[in-house]
Amino acid sequence: MAKWFPHNVSTFGGDIDSLFWLIFWVGLAWFVLAEGLILYFVIRYRRGKSQKAAYITGVPWRQSAWILVPAAVVLVLDLAVDAMGAHAFEAVKGESPQPDVRLRLTGEQFGWNITYPGPDGVFDTPDDLVMLYEMHVPVNKTVAIALGSKDVIHSFFVPALRLKQDALPGREIPVWFKATEPGDYEILCAELCGFGHTKMRGMLTVHTDESYAQWVRENWEQ
């Protein structure tokens, strides 16, 4: 199943994946235990000719321990998952580290507008560069995105980054990531936004430093 996850290329994606696998293995153990018990009981206590059922009410503590102990163990495991989760969530959705690149991403029925501040590094000036569907960023640099929407709720989802954030009209939501490998990664819209929802395919291109410099030269300085 490991290979069913798209290859991770973000700094925080690894934590999400390990948390997933932690829950997976713990969950699998409980699954095997619970289903195994059911199967065993059904086979072992299948009605025979003379077999009589035992009168077990589960009321005395010695009996109810059979359900309370598993619950206590689950409680401990829950708290462990929560404790690890708090850290991983904070990494993704908490304060962004100092950004190297800033851009604006605006969802719209049915496309993604990506705005670069241009050579002056300031938004809303004539040298801003707006691209449709294409996001270009350098590798190993912190990218800070101001995520918004023009009309309905969309959701910015890059599976390879393990990153998803709804884009709301009327709000600017800060999102950040640092991509660790150059390449092209698909952007999906994860929130139903109308009949063209399926078409909101964007592309994130993570460049090496040289190719990013070249891309900037070609696109920003005409």
Binding footprint of Cu ion on the chain (CB under 5 A) = 154, 189, 193, 197, 200
Q: Distance (Å, rounded) from C-alpha 37 to C-alpha 40?
A: 5
Binding of other proteins by 35 (CB under 8 A): yes
Smallest distance from the beta carbon of 116 to other proteins, in angstroms? Answer: 23
36 vs 119, beta carbon nearer other proteins: 36
Contact range with other proteins by CB under 8 A, out of 14-22, 98-106, 112-120, 210-218: 14-22
Q: Distance (Å, rounded) from C-alpha 163 to C-alpha 72?
A: 33
- Give the residues across from 179 on adjacent strands: 10
The answer to whether the beta carbons of residues 157 and 189 sit under 8 Å apart is yes
Q: Distance (Å, rounded) from C-alpha 97 to C-alpha 176?
A: 8
Q: Which does 31 bind (CB under 5 to 8 A by kind): Cu ion, other proteins, none?
A: other proteins
Q: Which does 58 bind (CB under 5 to 8 A by kind): Cu ion, other proteins, none?
A: other proteins
Binding of other proteins by 96 (CB under 8 A): no
Beta-sheet strands, E only, within 91-221: 101-108, 111-116, 129-132, 134-138, 142-149, 154-158, 163-167, 173-178, 183-189, 202-207
Which strand (E) or helix (H) includes residue 87?
A: helix 61-93
Smallest distance from the beta carbon of 10 to other proteins, in angstroms? Answer: 11
Number of chain residues interacting with other proteins (CB under 8 A): 83
Smallest distance from the beta carbon of 119 to other proteins, in angstroms? Answer: 31
53 vs 210, beta carbon nearer other proteins: 53
Tokens of 192: 């139903």
The residue from 25, 31, 120, 133 that contacts other proteins (CB under 8 A) is: 31
- Give the residues across from 131 on adjacent strands: 114
Smallest distance from the beta carbon of 146 to Cu ion, in angstroms? Answer: 19
Q: Binding to other proteins (CB under 8 A): which residues in 124-163?
A: 151-153, 155, 157, 159, 162-163
Q: What are phi and psi of 165, to 5 degrees?
A: -150, 130
Contact range with other proteins by CB under 8 A, out of 69-77, 100-108, 122-130, 131-139: 69-77
